[in-house]
Amino acid sequence: MRQRIPEFAVVGHPNEGKSSVLSTLAEDDSVRISPMPGETRECQTFPVSIDGREIIRFTDTPGFQNPRKSLQWMQEYRGSDETLIRDFIDAHKEDPDFHDDCRLLQPLLRGAGIIFVVDGSRPLRNMDKAEMEILRLTGCPRMAIINCKEEETAWLARWQSEFRKHFNSIRVFNSCQATYRERIELLESLKGIDQELQPVLDQVIAAFQQDWQARSRQVAELLLDLFEHALAYSRSVALPPGADEETLKDRLHRDYVELLRKEEKKCQKRMRALYKHNIFNCELSPQSILQEDLFSKKTWEFLGLNRSQLVMAGALSGAALGAGVDVAAAGLSFGIFSTIGGLLGAAGTAFKGRDLLSGTRLLGMRLDEQRLTVGPVKNVQLLFVLLDRQFLFYSHIINWAHGRRDYDQPPPAGENLPAKIGYTADWDRSRRKICERFFACLQNNGDSADSEMRESMAQLIRQTLQEISLGGRT
Ligand SMILES: Nc1nc2c(ncn2[C@@H]2O[C@H](COP(=O)(O)OP(=O)(O)OP(=O)(O)O)[C@@H](O)[C@H]2O)c(=O)[nH]1
Ligand SMILES: [Mg+2]
């Protein structure tokens, strides 16, 4: 026999954030959300499927329209508890004053559990008490979610104590900020509302977790592909007699930079799709370091390894030795950035994105019997910068709740940014070594790293993704 798919109806007063909570819980950005009360007028069910199999469904409902009168009717009702909802709907279905109340109770007839959403940043009113009492009279398993639309928390304790009288489970859940972990915790607390639901919700939670891991594995593969394309890149073109070597070098350099930008965009687009951000762009804050070009001064200043880590990397990876020595020798009153200038042969002069790869140091250019060969990349820092950019993008994407629609961003943390704001500079030596070996391997093998090397790099990436998704720095 097919197991029943658990269903939860998200109910509450108009404009409290019901649709936003649903959108975040179901990871579905097609849910309609609006600042105008009364946006949702009909029930709509959003199934959550994993590998094509529906495992749970959430139903969006209109807000209560006439809770006081509905409650009065129910309190005067003399029939049995089992027929209360059906009889209420039958008695009011033609009355436009109760249109929304009838609609929102409908899913309960087919056994849906209740998720009651309130905006906990406002005070409790009698109307709310009426709505809670209606839900209690339905006898359906139910939980309450406090979704604070504003920062205000003064009313929270009052809400919680009122909720204890009416609900088996209570959770604070911010539909615009909730993370993966908070979604799982919310599902966990749904188990508390009805013993019968426990086994099936355990399966749902396990499926969510497996799916999340599967997505992490796919992200790791995307990143590995990007790094292989970026770092093992090599091209060789003829330099006909009389042709201008500099022009040709320039063109090769431009081609490479273009390709890399495209590959990175492609990788990030796929990441977005994996996390089901299909409609909205999850725009980056204007202050985000990811707004900077891959080869901008700021990017290389704030991401990747610091100077001493780079020196160590150079000593290990052989091919990057030149880079390491340069770092040490460059003097460097401007910190890591002039280091890059030094690395690139620009010798600490003004940095131009275009110059970054045009020297022979980073990409490696050789002129050999009238053939100009570029690549593979010589500077291991490119790998760390790319890693940091993808991790930061991942963090941005997974922490962008699906119910979030506005693009207001918090202001930057402070004027004094730390020296490095990526992840890799915080890594210990053993993690960095894995990257250095992977890098060296790509240089030696030409196009792809050997499978053992690739797997240890994949493991490192997956581990970092997990740390980020379990509440690492965002
Ligand atoms: N800042 C903030 N805004 C929120 C939050 N939750 C919802 N909103 C906003 O509140 C408004 C109403 O959200 P909806 O999710 O459409 O509310 P609803 O309860 O479904 O409303 P109806 O369908 O009209 O009953 C929208 O503008 C949301 O963006 C939140 O947690 N924080
Ligand atoms: Mg709605």
Do 267 and 392 belong together in one domain? yes
| Integer Cα distance of 344 and 338 in angstroms | 10
113: β partners = 8
Q: Return the SS3 of 318.
A: coil
Do 357 and 287 belong together in one domain? yes
366: β partners = 373
C-beta 331 within 6 A of ligand 1: no
Tell me what percent of the residues of the chain surpass a pLDDT of 90.
62
C-beta 42 within 6 A of ligand 1: no
Domain boundary among 158, 193, 228: 193
C-beta 15 within 6 A of ligand 1: yes
| 36, part of any domain | yes
**pLDDT-based confidence at residue 345 (cuts at 50, 70, 90):** very low
Question: Closest Cα to residue 261, out of 222, 229, 234, 286?
Answer: 229
Distances (CA, A) of 311 to 227, 330, 332, 379, 419: 21, 12, 13, 11, 17
Domain boundary among 132, 158, 193: 193
Q: Is the pLDDT of residue 118 over 50?
A: yes
| 204, part of any domain | no
DSSP string covering 418-429: -S--SSGGGS-H
The arithmetic mean of pLDDT across residues 98-119, rounded, is 97
Q: How many angstroms does the Cα of residue 277 sit away from the middle of ligand 1?
A: 18
Q: Please tell me the residue having the least CA distance from ligand 1 atom 6.
A: 17
C-beta 65 within 6 A of ligand 1: no
Determine how β-strand 365-368 pairs with β-strand 53-60: unpaired
What total number of domains does the chain contain? 2
Residue whose tokens read 């943390």? 413
Position in ligand 1 atom list of the atom nearest CA 62: 25
| Integer Cα distance of 5 and 55 in angstroms | 6
Instruction: Give the single-character DSSP code of 291.
Output: G
pLDDT digit string, tens, across residues 157-201: 999 999 998 998 999 999 998 988 899 999 999 998 988 889 999
| 2, part of any domain | no
- Domain residues for 134? 7-193
Do 111 and 227 belong together in one domain? no
Task: Say if residues 138 and 84 touch (Cβ distance below 8 Å).
Answer: yes
DSSP string covering 134-183: HHHHHT--EEEEE--SSS--TTHHHHHHHHHHH-SEEEE--TTT--HHHH
Task: Say if residues 131 and 12 touch (Cβ distance below 8 Å).
Answer: yes
Q: Return the SS3 of 32.
A: coil
Determine how β-strand 53-60 pairs with β-strand 44-50: antiparallel
Do 171 and 265 belong together in one domain? no
Instruction: Give the single-character DSSP code of 195.
Output: G
Q: Which of 25-29, 215-219, 227-231, 238-242 is predicted with the least confidence, judged by mean pLDDT?
A: 238-242
Do 297 and 266 belong together in one domain? yes
Q: Which residues surround ligand 2, an ion (CB under 5 A)?
A: 18-19, 39-40
Q: How many angstroms does the Cα of residue 16 sit away from the middle of ligand 1?
A: 5
What integer pLDDT is reported at residue 417 of this predicted model?
A: 59
Residues contacting 90, CB < 8 A, separation 6+: none
User: What are the tokens at 290?
Assistant: 């990811």
Q: Is the pLDDT of residue 331 over 60?
A: no
Domain boundary among 135, 163, 193: 193
Question: Closest Cα to residue 417, out of 338, 303, 339, 285?
Answer: 303
Q: What is the mean pLDDT of the chain?
A: 85
Do 143 and 287 belong together in one domain? no
Q: Please tell me the residue having the least CA distance from ligand 1 atom 14.
A: 17
| 300, part of any domain | yes
Q: Which of 26-40, 146-160, 285-299, 352-366 is predicted with the least confidence, judged by mean pLDDT?
A: 352-366
Q: What is the pTM of this model?
A: 0.86
| Integer Cα distance of 375 and 235 in angstroms | 7
Distances (CA, A) of 96 to 91, 99, 427, 429, 467: 12, 5, 62, 69, 52
| 401, part of any domain | yes
Position in ligand 1 atom list of the atom nearest CA 150: 1
Instruction: Give the single-character DSSP code of 284.
Output: P
| Integer Cα distance of 106 and 104 in angstroms | 6
Position in ligand 1 atom list of the atom nearest CA 175: 31
Which ligand approaches the C-alpha of residue 11 most closely? 1
Task: Say if residues 257 and 233 touch (Cβ distance below 8 Å).
Answer: no
Classify residue 69 by burial, with Cβ atoms within 10 Å: 0-12, 13-18, 19+. Answer: middle
| 210, part of any domain | no
C-beta 123 within 6 A of ligand 1: no
**pLDDT-based confidence at residue 138 (cuts at 50, 70, 90):** very high
Question: Closest Cα to residue 46, out of 34, 36, 33, 37?
Answer: 33
Position in ligand 1 atom list of the atom nearest CA 63: 25
Q: How many angstroms does the Cα of residue 44 sit away from the middle of ligand 2?
A: 10
Do 187 and 316 belong together in one domain? no
pLDDT digit string, tens, across residues 263-313: 999 999 999 999 999 888 888 888 899 999 998 889 999 999 998 898 888
pLDDT digit string, tens, across residues 67-89: 999 999 999 999 999 999 999 99
The arithmetic mean of pLDDT across residues 24-36, rounded, is 94
C-beta 353 within 6 A of ligand 1: no
Do 142 and 243 belong together in one domain? no
Classify residue 434 by burial, with Cβ atoms within 10 Å: 0-12, 13-18, 19+. Answer: middle
Q: Give me the half-sphere count of Cα atoms (radius 13 Å) on the Cβ side of residue 340.
A: 28
Q: Which of 114-128, 137-151, 386-400, 436-450 is predicted with the least confidence, judged by mean pLDDT?
A: 436-450
C-beta 35 within 6 A of ligand 1: yes
pLDDT digit string, tens, across residues 41-68: 999 999 999 989 999 999 999 999 999 9
| 205, part of any domain | no
Which ligand approaches the C-alpha of residue 38 most closely? 1
Q: Please tell me the residue having the least CA distance from ligand 1 atom 16.
A: 33
Q: What share of the chain is helix, strand, coil (3-state, %, to 5)?
A: 50, 10, 40
DSSP string covering 58-114: EEE-PPPSSHHHHHHHHHH--S-GGGHHHHHHHHHTT-GGGHHHHHHHHHHHTT-EE
Question: The domain that contains 142 carries what CATH number?
Answer: 3.40.50.300
Do 105 and 157 belong together in one domain? yes
Task: Say if residues 5 and 57 touch (Cβ distance below 8 Å).
Answer: yes
| 162, part of any domain | yes
Distances (CA, A) of 361 to 30, 93, 234, 340, 356: 48, 76, 14, 10, 9
What integer pLDDT is reported at residue 365 of this predicted model?
A: 65
Q: Ligand 1 pocket test: which of 33, 406, 408 has the largest number of ligand atoms within 8 Å of its C-beta?
A: 33
| Integer Cα distance of 329 and 316 in angstroms | 17
C-beta 410 within 6 A of ligand 1: no
Q: Is the pLDDT of residue 439 over 70?
A: yes
Q: How many angstroms does the Cα of residue 319 sit away from the middle of ligand 2?
A: 58
Which ligand approaches the C-alpha of residue 39 most closely? 1
Which ligand approaches the C-alpha of residue 20 most closely? 1
Do 174 and 222 belong together in one domain? no
Instruction: Give the single-character DSSP code of 225.
Output: H
Q: Is the pLDDT of residue 337 over 50?
A: no
Do 263 and 179 belong together in one domain? no
What integer pLDDT is reported at residue 339 of this predicted model?
A: 35
Q: Please tell me the residue having the least CA distance from ligand 1 atom 5.
A: 149
What integer pLDDT is reported at residue 228 of this predicted model?
A: 92
Do 242 and 379 belong together in one domain? yes
